[in-house]
Structure 1
Amino acid sequence: MLTIIPDLLRADEVARVRALIEPAEWVDGNATSGAQSALAKRNVQLPEDSTAAREAGALVLDALGRSALFVAAALPLKVFPPLFNRYEGGQAFGTHVDTAVRIRRGSDFRLRADLSATVFLSDPDSYDGGELVIEDAFGERSVKLPAGHAVVYPASSLHRVAAVTRGARLGSFLWLQSMVRDDGARRILWELDQGVQGAAQALGQGDAAVVRLTGVYHNLLRRWADV
């Protein structure tokens, strides 16, 4: 399931993140690549232990935590600290699959990467190319979003970043371990949640049918969640 999260970061937060990361020291993006990705990846990124990455990452994590849409779609259990990358001058990231288990260097923190997320930090009119192209059951999906918007998608998907031929594409990327491992089960819970929210708006939160549907949602989550 691919989910767009509009306005995850407010305009002032995008500006704050950019002010932190743009003047920082950038390194070869293959610092966090697996063997397959290293063959296809051409970009730069912030070292994950840099002050700028930690401070900007905290802003992204706060935004994720307050987004009801993100929580409903991802059902997050663990979130890898956000990282930051930049593409320019023809840089791109060829087709690849994200590593299944992510380990934070120098720590015992690790997670199973069920979902990947990208937060766009550049105005789409400020650069050419740079689309995130994701292959799913419905074919290729090309994603290029306004600054502050995010996209969440299965980490198991084949995906790539098209070459940036003008300007620079700044973004934050991260991986999530969901409470619900199976993408199909997450999709059912997402659709049920959206149905419950719609029914609550139409009938009222205390309506008997809404209460019963809410119970079904939580009982399915109880059956499928691994926490």
Structure 2
Amino acid sequence: MLLHIPSVLSPDELSAMRKALARAEWTDGRETVGTQGAKVKRNQQLPDASPLRAELARIVLSALARNSTYFSAALPLKTLTPRFNRYSGHGEYGFHVDGAVMRADADVQLRSDLSCTLFLADPDDYDGGELVISDTYGEHAVKLPAGDLILYPASSLHKVEPVTRGERLASFFWIQSMVRDDARRRMLFDMDQAIQALVGDNADATATLQLTGIYHNLLRQWAET
């Protein structure tokens, strides 16, 4: 499932993060990838041990916690502490697949079911920098407004196009979902959105309750906790 979630960050959160990143000390992004990734990655990142990274990550995680669409789509079990990157001066990241198992914190590992990119720069402030995601339906170029998020399967082949003007700022992270299978997650998401629409339309309460029961029984069968 490829899902655009708008306005994850509030204007105040976005402004504070961009001001903080303007004075950040960046490091070579190749420090956090393996040998193959280092061959095609040319960007900068906040160091993992940076206090600023920890501070901004808390803002991102707080924003995600209040976003019901994100929770419905991802059904998160574990989330890697968000990282932050910058692309400029023709920086890019060639086609690659994310690692299947990642170290979330000290002794915690997660299976990377979903990848997230939260855009922090206005699209008019830079040229290029599209996130290109390749799947069975072709290639999808994604360049979202600041504060918007794209959620997609971590198994997807993807890249970031060269940034030829300005700078592209983003937060990125991975999620281990309670539901491993992407098709099952998509069915649960579609069902949950339908239930919410029925509740909003004051549909038949008995039918809505039955559908809600089916949702939770499917989640009960498929969830890993």
Matched, 1:224 2:222: yes
Aligned to 1:158: 157
Matched, 1:5 2:24: no
Aligned to 1:74: 74
Aligned to 2:181: 182
Normalized against structure 1, the TM-score is what? 0.97
Aligned to 1:99: 99
Secondary structure of the equivalent of 2:42?
coil
Aligned to 1:50: 50
For residues 110-135 of structure 1, the C-alpha deviation after alignment (integer angstroms, 9 at most, x for no partner) is 11000000000000000000000001
Aligned pairs for 1:106-145 (under 5 A) are 107-145=106-144
- Post-superposition shift, 1:21? 2.3
Percent of matched pairs sharing the same residue? 53
Secondary structure of the equivalent of 1:188?
helix
**RMSD between superposed Cα atoms in Å:** 1.1
CA distance in 2, matches of 1:212, 1:220: 12
- Post-superposition shift, 1:186? 0.3
The answer on whether the counterparts of 1:20 and 1:55 sit within 8 Å (CA) in structure 2 is no
- Post-superposition shift, 1:91? 0.5
- Post-superposition shift, 1:38? 1.1
- Post-superposition shift, 1:137? 2.1
Structure 1: gaps spanning 5 or more residues: none
CA distance in 2, matches of 1:141, 1:118: 14
Letter aligned with residue 131 of structure 1: E
CA distance in 1, matches of 2:13, 2:57: 11
CA distance in 2, matches of 1:98, 1:82: 15
Structure 2: gaps spanning 5 or more residues: none
CA distance in 2, matches of 1:97, 1:22: 29
The answer on whether the counterparts of 2:79 and 2:104 sit within 8 Å (CA) in structure 1 is no
Letter aligned with residue 175 of structure 1: W
- Post-superposition shift, 1:201? 1.6
Aligned residues: 225
Secondary structure of the equivalent of 2:94?
strand
CA distance in 1, matches of 2:116, 2:183: 18
- Post-superposition shift, 1:20? 2.1
- Post-superposition shift, 1:35? 2.3
Letter aligned with residue 150 of structure 1: L
Secondary structure of the equivalent of 2:156?
coil
For residues 156-194 of structure 1, the C-alpha deviation after alignment (integer angstroms, 9 at most, x for no partner) is 000000000000000000000000000010011011111
Aligned to 2:208: 210
For residues 95-153 of structure 1, the C-alpha deviation after alignment (integer angstroms, 9 at most, x for no partner) is 00001111146x10211000000000000000000000001221111100000000010
CA distance in 2, matches of 1:53, 1:22: 13
CA distance in 2, matches of 1:182, 1:34: 26
CA distance in 2, matches of 1:86, 1:75: 28
CA distance in 1, matches of 2:22, 2:34: 25
CA distance in 1, matches of 2:130, 2:111: 26
Secondary structure of the equivalent of 1:134?
strand
Normalized against structure 2, the TM-score is what? 0.97
CA distance in 2, matches of 1:135, 1:27: 28
Letter aligned with residue 162 of structure 2: A
Matched, 1:23 2:23: yes
- Post-superposition shift, 1:42? 0.3
Q: Structure 1 stretches (4+) deviating beyond 4 angstroms?
A: none
